[in-house]
Structure 1
Amino acid sequence: MLNPDNWTLFQGLAVFGVCALIIAIAGTRITRIVDQLADRTGIGEAAAGAVLLGGTTSIGGSVLSVTAAWNGNAELAMSNALGGIAVQTFFLAVADMVYRRANLEHAAASVPNMMQNALLIVLLSLILMTPLLPNVTVWGLHPVTPILFLVYIYGIHLVHRAHDAPMWAPTKTRETREDKPDDIKLMPSMVRLTSEFLVLFVVLGFAGYMLEPSATVIAAETGLTQTIVGVMLTAISTSIPELVTSVAAVRRGALTLAVGGIIGGNAFDTLFTAASDIAYRDGSIYHTMTDGTLFWVCLTLLMSAILIMGLIRREREGPGRIGLESVLITVLYLGGVWLLLS
């Protein structure tokens, strides 16, 4: 049972289901911890969503992609990383449907959130461009890999500056919801919050590690391509925390955290590809990207561009009492799923 090479389809599905459930439960619990850490440290919900919530809820997916790349399953590693960004952007539209007071992008207006989305577009553009560059590696790495890390670090620095010293601010309306810190006296101690955070971080990472062999077994036993398994199974299952936490944050009124967690998680997820290139031992992993994976990069870029336009426009109410950008993102994602499965 401990050797994935001997797993049957049933065993692969069982391990996959258990790991997905663990990710959902642990990812849900970590939302309140991140919100409280944001209040205790004073970094703000948008920054907390980008760095703490976005990075931690994505750890399962990052471990899966790195493990897949190490085992030579480059297609699974890349489709999981990039498919997760698309589904999480769709989850933001779902959160908009839950928040009935106004368009979520209007109510959660935030300069850091727009900066994070712009950073995501830059990182995705670099990934999309890389397969067109010469297939060269230095010490087994493509030169774009360290560039992705540097761009991300600098981008997060700009997000922090936009939070601490914004050069402009969105117009406040009666639907606008700002961060309202909870009473710190009623919160658990910093030591307890940090301890719980680290424990859940490890749990999410282990669940992601076990998802990789189960996904490989499912692909082999069912005859599905690793792109389909990556986009439709592993990407969705490892993104469950983003869906649960964004909806939970919206219901609790932490709108900036909900939007920042999704967009920040998406920007962090682009680093899956860089980490996978480090783990991949047969050259540049970017040059193994299939047409299906490249399609999802283009689709995600389009969805992200629509999202940032929605964040700037700040429509109060659109079709079905949600934002027009949410409608378009939903149509694009479901259309992409239909093309992938057809």
Structure 2
Amino acid sequence: MSLTLSVALFAGCALIIGLVGTRLTGVVDTLADRTGMGEAIAGAVLMGMATSLSGIVLSVTAAWKGQPELAMSNAVGGIAVQTLFLTVADVALRRINLEHAAASIGNLAQGTLLMCLLGLLLVASFSPEWTLWSIHPVTPILLLGYVYGLRIIDEVRSEPMWMPRRTRETREDTPDDEARRHSLTRLWGAFVVLALLLGISGWVMEKAATTLAAETGMSQTAVGVLLTSVATSLPELVTAVAAVKRGALTLAVGGIIGGNAFDTLFAAASDVAYRDGSIYHAVSDQTLLWIALSVLMTAVLLLGLVRREKHGPARIGFESVALVLLYGAGVAMVFQDAS
């Protein structure tokens, strides 16, 4: 594949991912109301899974081809940039800090689960390089931890032991009566089709990304963190802003955090696909840095959800400013290592 063709394919896939993500928001928001699962769970499971399909296909394909750096950096880079996207959604809301208006026990629980899963990735990297059929023991633990975490989130949503204090700006997750007029069959059909489009885009994008890395001399880590992770994360940006515009604030935050939690499973799936041993031990310190950076950014986001500042610098929350600075520092370190 030529460099020109790879750039064109990369841009085309990014455009498709962005357009599909816009449509996906309305479908998931309606499904959340129609099925009664709520925006927090719909954001974590449906939105998170669907918007992450392009990324997981790319990571698994790269791992299968023996490119662990691209596989892992795409995963952890996506988590960092998707957390950053909440800053864009915060700006789009304008009148009040997004973390104030969208505070919910479900989103707090999701953020805690995400930090646990990211911590497991770091533990795996520093643990002994034991494998069974080339699969590290942390891989099944990641999968079980994610499933168990979703169960806890559902429990705290249905029977909460405490609730965030309501203010005039708090937006509660209340079902829309209009959702009952939509056919569940058509909604699920639309969801599956849109999700498949995202998955196919990720498969094509991996081929373009591999060519870009080879032709431009960029490292696989730089390509994964700065290019593929941003492009495959476009649905999260589009859906977060679209959800804010629809007034589905819990869905906006839940979709990002839930998508990030699902993205940690990129590593588990990539470890299964990688046939040369543990993928956690095949990555560089630069990739591990982005895992640690994602932990820090998630912690800042949780502080914002707990503090619930109404207005901060530039009419956004303090956590949004901190997220921009942290992500910028990470990008600067990537360029420093590349120079």
TM-score (norm. length: structure 2): 0.98
Is 1:210–2:204 an aligned residue pair? Answer: yes
Structure 1 stretch displaced more, 198-207 or 142-151: 198-207
Return 13-22 or 181-190, whichever deviates more: 181-190
- Matched with 1:90 is 84
Q: Find the partner of 2:314 among 320, 323, 328.
A: 320
**1:1-342 paired onto structure 2 within 5 Å:** 7-184=1-178, 187-342=181-336
Aligned partners of 1:76 and 1:229 also within 8 Å: yes
1:117-161 superposed Cα distances (whole Å, 9 cap, x missing partner): 000000000101111111010122100000000000000001111
**How far apart, CA to CA, are the structure 1 residues paired with 2:224 and 2:204?**
14
Residue 169 of structure 1 aligns to which amino acid in structure 2?
A: M
Deviation at 1:180, TM superposition (A): 3.0
> How far off its partner does 1:208 sit?
0.5
Structure 2 letter corresponding to 1:251: K
CA distance in 1, matches of 2:271, 2:102: 35
240-249 or 175-184: which moved more? 175-184
3-state DSSP of counterpart to 2:276: coil
Alpha-carbon distance in 2 for matches of 1:108, 1:174: 12
Q: Which runs of 4+ in 1 moved over 4 A?
A: none
- 2:34·2:180 contact (CA, 8 Å) conserved in 1? no
Letter in 1 for 2:324: T
Q: Does the 8 Å CA contact 1:141/1:284 hold for their aligned counterparts?
A: yes
The number of residues matched between the two structures is 336
Q: Distance in 2 between matches of 1:185 and 1:166?
A: 25
Q: Which residue is 1:3 aligned to?
A: none
Distance 1:187 1:22, change over 3 A: farther
Displacement of 1:187:
3.8
Instruction: Determine the C-alpha separation between the residues in 2 that align with 1:8 and 1:88.
Output: 30
Cα shift at 1:181? 2.0
Equivalent-residue separation in structure 2 for 1:102 and 1:177 (angstroms)? 11
User: Which 5+ residue runs of structure 2 have no aligned equivalent?
Assistant: none
RMSD: 0.9
What amino acid sits opposite 1:17 in the alignment? Answer: A
Q: Unpaired segments of 5 or more residues in structure 1?
A: 1-6
Q: How far is 1:186 from its partner? A: 6.3
- Contact 2:87 2:323 survives alignment (8 Å): yes
The code of the aligned residue for 1:143 comes to P
- Give how far 1:27 is off: 1.4
Q: Assess if the C-alpha contact under 8 Å between 2:82 and 2:260 holds in 1.
A: yes
The answer on whether the counterparts of 1:36 and 1:187 sit within 8 Å (CA) in structure 2 is: no
Q: What SS does the corresponding residue of 1:33 show, helix, strand or coil? A: helix
Q: Distance in 2 between matches of 1:46 and 1:186?
A: 19
Letter in 1 for 2:77: G
